[in-house]
Structure 1
């Protein structure tokens, strides 16, 4: 089974989120070092040249990165994920992505995916505690092909962090397994709906010091922006599709260490949310506090189109 980070030294009662997730991130400008960014850009440019002009494939680069990672003594899981992310521009387009002809952009799985999450109803609620903290969020949409055909029975595998910024199934004390991890099947029109919470930016408290320095030296925040992980599986797909959904207006998006290509694609993966604070709507949803809704369609390339 794929290795998942272990946070046994952490507790759900110890948040790793910013004090105000909607405020502009505070950066330590004294740590910024433009030469670090120049060095990374140089490496990225060299790899881009290898991939585009010399027949080197993504798999070749991944093998090379894996060899370096295996020699890492700090944290191979973290380093593998972020090195591959830094180098991703070598095979990602720099812009001009058209969802109508190319589909919803993919994004990385991240290091804390865990398989076999509970299957929930559609519409349904991701597994959570009775008093789960956070703003309730209802996400709905349709999964369809590039030709507009609904993908009925598609399996959505969804996972996200708690309001404390922790993921279940990672050993965090006080956090039961499979909280905010669930799967659901689209209906005969490819539609889905699930309720979770609105995620918050979070830090990785076990990040290697070298990686932490690399972030700060480039003027990035140590907090990841709000996001929801999604996988889609369906017989008409060539393989499982993986992406992440972000939130429009999240200030941390501007300080996330992504390549220009990744930033361009992430702009197509942003949720617009609507607040519902009418008491009748709250009651109709079986909730006790205001909630937010968002709609997002997943347009995927199938074996036929």
Structure 2
């Protein structure tokens, strides 16, 4: 059985295909021994839905260790550290996954209502959910229907996926609201202490962010926050902010032909020179060179133990 891992974490980026709502990781490629070649917990830029089709093992969710077996569902928020570790003696496990950006759906459901959007996002990002299929038939059926739509991709599948995601969100909110009422206040431990700060950066990266604001969101003094943040992320809060800005810049450059000074402004860099300097720091290439050769995006970020990996 694997050991709980919590020294540093890896940040893994996924991209939803353009024009679609969901990235689906399905099929035999996901029959594997999980966790035994990994040294740390990891977290994603997207929400992860997992369904265990076969196998047993442990799912480590931040500070908690859960046993998994077939017909179990996991719903893991953005920025939530986790790792799957299959039982070696039982052979490979078979998981399938869906990844999506919850803010896309939230903005569709609550247009022009920023307060409600923030409230819903905070609610669904509060904690990971993990349960047997029979414990919540509503969500489980919707997850399997979503996976089937993405597996088959028949005519109008994207419209079906959108409808299923809306229904999934409704069920997820019901489950989160019930969980909040039963466990209203719980002392945060481990990396959950800085989850609010990670969420804050994800929402406000384009604006001027002070470390003092992140500490306040995490209910810590600035000095204590810096120490806790660096102990888990192995980088300073400002380095993490700039890392997020660089990643968002990559997304913009893939989808638009905006000039570099416009890209820099959109992601929160005050000058193009600051943008260029940070881009070079993390990806070891200039924004222009990256745009004409975007495979650079798949390289690990340099000089940091927190790694930006494309997918698994």
Say yes or no: TM over 0.5: no
User: How high is the TM-score relative to the length of structure 1?
Assistant: 0.24
